[in-house]
Chains A and B, each alone.
Chain A
Amino acid sequence: MFSNNYLIKKEILVEYRNNTSLFLITPTMAVLILIFPILSENRFVVDNDFFIINQLLFLIVFTTLFSIRSPLNQNKLLRELNFGNIRRKDFFIYKTISEFIIFFPQALILLALFSVFTNTGIQNNMLYFLISIVFFSINALMVNIIFQMFTSFSNRFVQFILMVPVFMSLSFFVAPIWLGINPNLTNIYLLMYLGVTLVIFSYTNWFLERD
């Protein structure tokens, strides 16, 4: 449906050819994380103790990955949109879709690896869990779009410092659903997450479309 859309195609191609592309970094880091404990412990089965610190490190490493994005210069972007006669609304919609296509699989890879390495299976209905990941991805990419714009003045380190706490707090919503709280509480959590998503979505929309 969207494969022939000029905006989605452009965003994905640019991401694919970016030196710090998530398409490149996530699999590389995943392999490193897979190999590291095996090399350090010199065995294939790892004690639970080993992962007490690693669980946190693991989360931080992947949060960092999501934070490494090319800055968007707002003036340059507006010039580009004017050149192509592209409406800001269209840009926002298709930018969101293309970022979702980039983010969602990365989030799934992260969680699958996390699940395997920390030996914590999902203690909840898979559908609820997937919905929470969809919310996580939408929020993460919205935050990313905003940060990509107003951190264009600075380097990626500053971007990373600012974004990691935001990403960590977004991921805290996923944790209880993963760990298996009762169905009523799950619904409340999902509703809260939906509310947060709507607020962030509206704010980003306004941020991009304002004069």
Chain B
Amino acid sequence: MSINYLSAPNLTLGYENSIVIDDLELSLDDSKDYQIIGGNGAGKSTLLNFISNNFHGNIFDSTVELKKVRILEISSDFTLIENLSLLENCMYFTKNTISEKDVYKALDEYEITPFKNDLLHKFSSGMIKRSELAIAMLINPDVLCIDEPLNYLDKKGSEILAESLKKRSNDGRSTILSSQEPLNLFIRKCETIDLNV
């Protein structure tokens, strides 16, 4: 059974006195995939932060109805902890609830197992992005939001990501991607939230 976890008929978001997203009608369902598209400054990251409860600006006179689902965001700023190794990050963010075997399986999938004991501050941006994606797939949230999903990823990384998104779709999990142009990463039909209009 699908859940409409966020409903806002007149969403207006901004920072201090400036409005970034004006009167947007938003309704999100946890059985569908979405892509947010828009140019620079259109409010893609703002909207994604709002959906994933990481928004620190102002909500202007909007009616918002929320239902509790597990939403995880991979933003353009990295979230993992630099002074921990990849394996320690996996254990920390999964709260030690996932077996080492499953952790290694996810790391293998993203081809980062050889670096499991390296501290993250030695990683390149692409490696950190792969690590965040691997941990996100381990956590397997109801809704996964990814800001600019292909940033920092090489061709192989993009292919692995597409494969992971395919698995999520097959499991009936929802994914929200934000980018400047539409991306062909979903296997099922997705809804588009166009912030350019």
Listed in ascending order, the chain A residues whose CB lies under 8 Å from chain B are 4, 6-7, 9-10, 13-14, 17-18, 75-76, 78-80, 82-86
**Cβ A14 vs Cβ B79 within 8 A:** no
A85 to chain B, nearest CB (A): 6
Set of chain A residues within 8 Å of B50, measured between Cβ atoms: none
Residue of A4, A17, A79, A84 near B92 (CB, 8 A) is A84
**Cβ A79 vs Cβ B139 within 8 A:** no
24 chain-A/chain-B pairs, Cβ below 8 angstroms: A6-B91, A6-B92, A6-B95, A9-B88, A10-B88, A13-B83, A13-B88, A14-B84, A17-B83, A18-B83, A76-B79, A79-B54, A79-B75, A79-B77, A80-B81, A82-B73, A83-B93, A84-B93, A84-B94, A85-B70, A85-B72, A85-B95, A85-B139, A86-B95
**Cβ B95 vs Cβ A83 within 8 A:** no
> In the complex, A79 Cα to B96 Cα: how many Å?
19
Contact A82:B92 (CB < 8 A) given known A10-B81, A14-B81, A14-B83: no
Residue of B71, B77, B96 near A6 (CB, 8 A) is B96
Set of chain A residues within 8 Å of B54, measured between Cβ atoms: 75, 78-79, 82
**Cβ A75 vs Cβ B56 within 8 A:** yes
Set of chain B residues within 8 Å of A75, measured between Cβ atoms: 54, 56
Set of chain A residues within 8 Å of B52, measured between Cβ atoms: 82
Set of chain B residues within 8 Å of A14, measured between Cβ atoms: 81, 83-84
> In the complex, A141 Cα to B75 Cα: how many Å?
31
Q: Total A-B pairs in contact (CB under 8 Å)?
A: 54
Most buried by A among B83, B94, B119: B83
> In the complex, A6 Cα to B95 Cα: how many Å?
6
Contact A80:B79 (CB < 8 A) given known A6-B92, A85-B70: yes
> In the complex, A24 Cα to B23 Cα: how many Å?
54
- Number of B residues near A (Cβ < 8 Å) is 23
**Cβ B84 vs Cβ A10 within 8 A:** yes
B121 to chain A, nearest CB (A): 9
Q: Closest residue of chain A to B95, judged by CB?
A: A6
Residue of A7, A10, A79 near B79 (CB, 8 A) is A79
Set of chain B residues within 8 Å of A13, measured between Cβ atoms: 83-84, 88
Contact A10:B92 (CB < 8 A) given known A18-B83, A79-B75: yes
> In the complex, A10 Cα to B90 Cα: how many Å?
11
Q: Closest residue of chain A to B97, judged by CB?
A: A6
Set of chain A residues within 8 Å of B56, measured between Cβ atoms: 75, 78
A195 to chain B, nearest CB (A): 34
10 more A-B contacts (CB under 8 A) besides A10-B88, A82-B54?
A6-B92, A9-B88, A10-B81, A10-B84, A17-B83, A79-B73, A79-B75, A82-B73, A83-B93, A84-B93
> In the complex, A157 Cα to B95 Cα: how many Å?
35
Contact A83:B84 (CB < 8 A) given known A6-B92, A10-B92, A78-B54: no
> In the complex, A82 Cα to B94 Cα: how many Å?
12
B141 to chain A, nearest CB (A): 8
